[in-house]
Amino acid sequence: MLELATPNAGDLLREVADLKAQSLRFGTALENLVQGVCFFDGEQRLILSNRRYWEIYNLPPDRLGPGVTLHEVILARIAVGSFPAEEEQPYLAWRVALADQSKPHDSVVELRDGRVIAIHHRPMPDRGWVSTHEDITERRRAEDRIVHLASHDPLTGLGNRALFQARLVEVRAACARAARSWAVLYVDLDDFKAANDTLGHAQGDAVLQLVAERLRRLVRRGDSVARLGGDEFGVLAPDVNGEAEAAQLSGRIVAGLAEPFALGGRSVCIGACVGAALARPDHDASPEQLLRWADMALYQAKADGRSTYRVFRPELETAWRARQDLEHELRAALDRGEFELHYQPLIALPGGEIGGVEALLRWNHPTRGIVPPAEFLPLAEETGLILPIGEWVLRSACRQGAAWSRVRMAVNLSPLQLQAPGLVPLVEAVLAETGLEPGRLELEITETALLRPLAGIVGALDRLRGIGVRVVIDDFGTGYSSLAYLQNLPCDKLKIDRSFVCALGDASVAPDRTGAIVQAIVSLCRAIGVEVNAEGVETAAQEERLRLEGCGEMQGFRFGRPMPASAMSAVLRGEAEPA
């Protein structure tokens, strides 16, 4: 027996040793888990737990050893406040009932101190269970941050476009259930780009934050505000009773944003336009439709001027469509060769010979006939199409100027072209390509272009003058800061705007105020060595008066209307009189 028992005892000892080692490994593993773990038996009594479990629930580990009931554990947790932010008794009942379930169960609870714990409950065959507890507060916060980032604009803290659209769907459904009308508004800042350029990007960001803050205050409680991108914002107003109320809300936003903003000791005016669309319970407009309406209303508001609002009405759709069509056709016009340049003579005084011509753009529209620039240039400017169109104008005019060997060629530059970084190299390349002498090219820039920051533009103009190109200020007198340019801007000539010339000799403008202004401009220019042109001369009396004042150059219907190149060629060859 003994002989037989000996190997058994050895086996047993080895087994015990193995078990001990295994238990040690198990214990070490358990103590080092990041999760809290506890085992309960079929009587809901604790068999085993690890330190992490007690830590998570702020429980003293020595107080609750093996044998305590789940009920006692939960009571101890309630005593130290480590339980969810609900009533104690219902929680206790829920937790104990959960232990009775024979199915695995996962839950996430938020403790009263704000920590979030994920609990996995796994039943065992003897009706006991093992549960693991993990503090996922940090992970949850990170997830919340990601969700917030994905739906909010980090600069202003407002909801972003995605959130706006999701909210719009919600508001639409809620208002349909309540049979209530509501509104969606687009808010577009008037002068943000100019402010951003002048003040720099950091200050531009600060302006957007101030706008967001003010917008929040301008809307009512329950309305939501979002930043849809750049300088465009959106408002959802879930309770707007009819068009008049939509107009009232829009008007309040326009007026509120027209007030200046205080930014680092200075006051900045931005202003905004608002387009609103009203959703009525009796007209089930889709979200896309409402956004399109708001967009159309905004487009109309912007077309009507700064700090304006419009509430969508069906008529607006017609204007909007016309513009869409025009934009579409304008995009194709360049490729289809529908643009043409006409040329108007610039008359040198006192001799009266043609010293130059101004190139003026015409669009030969296949069905509308000749479209004047005033009808399509604003759209070209807004859409950026002016850049390729302007390049075509410059190249065509310079080519024509080179062919007309003697006269100067004046070309109009739009504000956008003037700001484009590639302007100087473009002019250089076109001059080289066409062979036009730089001294025969005059680039006309308008005051509106100069309302923008001067620094970059002055640099470009300096470089252009450096290569011999002449710079001309167009429409002088129509902007706000004319005299300031004369001080800062490198230029060779200025053109007195037609509105002054037109009023010359007009007896109703007494006592000859216009005459005095023109006189002052001419003598000022003489004093600072800048040439003067008078535009829009139509009558002999105007010509006479300008000659008297010593104006150096005239232009107007009196000397010739803008004409096609072929007609201008004949005039320059002396074969025809200007029309």
Please report how close the Cβ of residue 538 comes to ligand C2E at its closest, in angstroms. 5
- The helix (run of H) or strand (run of E) holding residue 473 is strand 470-476
Identity of residue 85 = A
Please report how close the Cβ of residue 318 comes to ligand C2E at its closest, in angstroms. 25
Footprint of Ca ion on 503-562 (CB under 5 A): 535
Contacts of residue 468, Cβ cutoff 8 Å, sequence gap at least 6: 437, 438, 439
Only segment of 221-229, 261-269, 272-280, 556-564 that touches ligand C2E (CB under 6 A): 556-564
By beta-carbon proximity to ligand C2E, the closer residue of 444 and 553 is 444
Q: Compute how many residues bind ligand C2E; rule: CB under 6 A.
A: 24
Determine the Cα–Cα distance for residues 94 and 463; give it in Å rounded to an integer: 80
* Contacting residue, 123, 238, 536, 552, with ligand C2E by CB under 6 A: 536
Task: Determine, following the binding rule CB under 6 A, whether residue 543 of this chain makes contact with ligand C2E.
Answer: no
* Contacting residue, 42, 230, 373, 435, with ligand C2E by CB under 6 A: 373
Binding partner at 329 among Ca ion, ligand C2E, none, C-beta below 5 to 8 Å by kind: none
DSSP state letter for 111:
B
Q: Quick check: 413 and 445 in contact, CB under 8 A?
A: yes
Q: What crossing angle do the helices spanning 70-80 and 88-99 adopt, rounded to 10°?
A: 150
By beta-carbon proximity to ligand C2E, the closer residue of 227 and 498 is 498
Determine the Cα–Cα distance for residues 223 and 204; give it in Å rounded to an integer: 26
DSSP track, 136-199: -HHHHHHHHHHHHHHHB-TTT--B-HHHHHHHHHHHHHHHHHTT--EEEEEEEESSHHHHHHHH
* Contacting residue, 153, 190, 329, 475, with ligand C2E by CB under 6 A: 475
Task: Determine, following the binding rule CB under 6 A, whether residue 442 of this chain makes contact with ligand C2E.
Answer: no
DSSP state letter for 439:
G
Q: Which residues are bridge partners to 538 per DSSP?
A: none
DSSP state letter for 337:
T
Binding partner at 557 among Ca ion, ligand C2E, none, C-beta below 5 to 8 Å by kind: ligand C2E
Q: Compute how many residues bind Ca ion; rule: CB under 5 A.
A: 5
x/- site string to Ca ion, residues 433 to 472, per CB under 5 A?
-----------x----------------------------
Footprint of ligand C2E on 412-431 (CB under 6 A): 412-414
Determine the Cα–Cα distance for residues 22 and 172; give it in Å rounded to an integer: 63
Please report how close the Cβ of residue 516 comes to ligand C2E at its closest, in angstroms. 22
By beta-carbon proximity to ligand C2E, the closer residue of 300 and 344 is 344
Binding partner at 562 among ligand C2E, Ca ion, none, C-beta below 5 to 8 Å by kind: ligand C2E
Binding partner at 533 among Ca ion, ligand C2E, none, C-beta below 5 to 8 Å by kind: none
Q: Quick check: 54 and 33 in contact, CB under 8 A?
A: no
* Contacting residue, 562, 568, 571, 578, with ligand C2E by CB under 6 A: 562
Only segment of 219-227, 288-296, 408-416, 425-433 that touches Ca ion (CB under 5 A): 408-416
Q: Which pairs from 109-113 meet CB under 8 Å and 24+ separation?
A: 109/84, 110/84, 110/85, 111/81, 111/82, 111/83, 111/84, 111/85, 112/81, 112/82, 112/83, 112/84, 112/85, 113/81, 113/82
Q: Where are the alpha helices (DSSP H) in 404-441?
A: 415-419, 423-434
Q: Quick check: 397 and 341 in contact, CB under 8 A?
A: yes
By beta-carbon proximity to Ca ion, the closer residue of 184 and 416 is 416
Please report how close the Cβ of residue 141 comes to ligand C2E at its closest, in angstroms. 54
* Contacting residue, 185, 212, 257, 393, with ligand C2E by CB under 6 A: 393
Task: Determine, following the binding rule CB under 6 A, whether residue 372 of this chain makes contact with ligand C2E.
Answer: yes
Q: Which of 516, 515, 559 is nearest to 536 (CA)?
A: 559
Task: Determine, following the binding rule CB under 6 A, whether residue 557 of this chain makes contact with ligand C2E.
Answer: yes
Give residues in contact with Ca ion (CB under 5 A). Answer: 412, 444, 474-475, 535
Give residues in contact with ligand C2E (CB under 6 A). Answer: 344, 360-361, 372-374, 377, 390, 393, 412-414, 444, 474-475, 498, 535-538, 555-557, 562
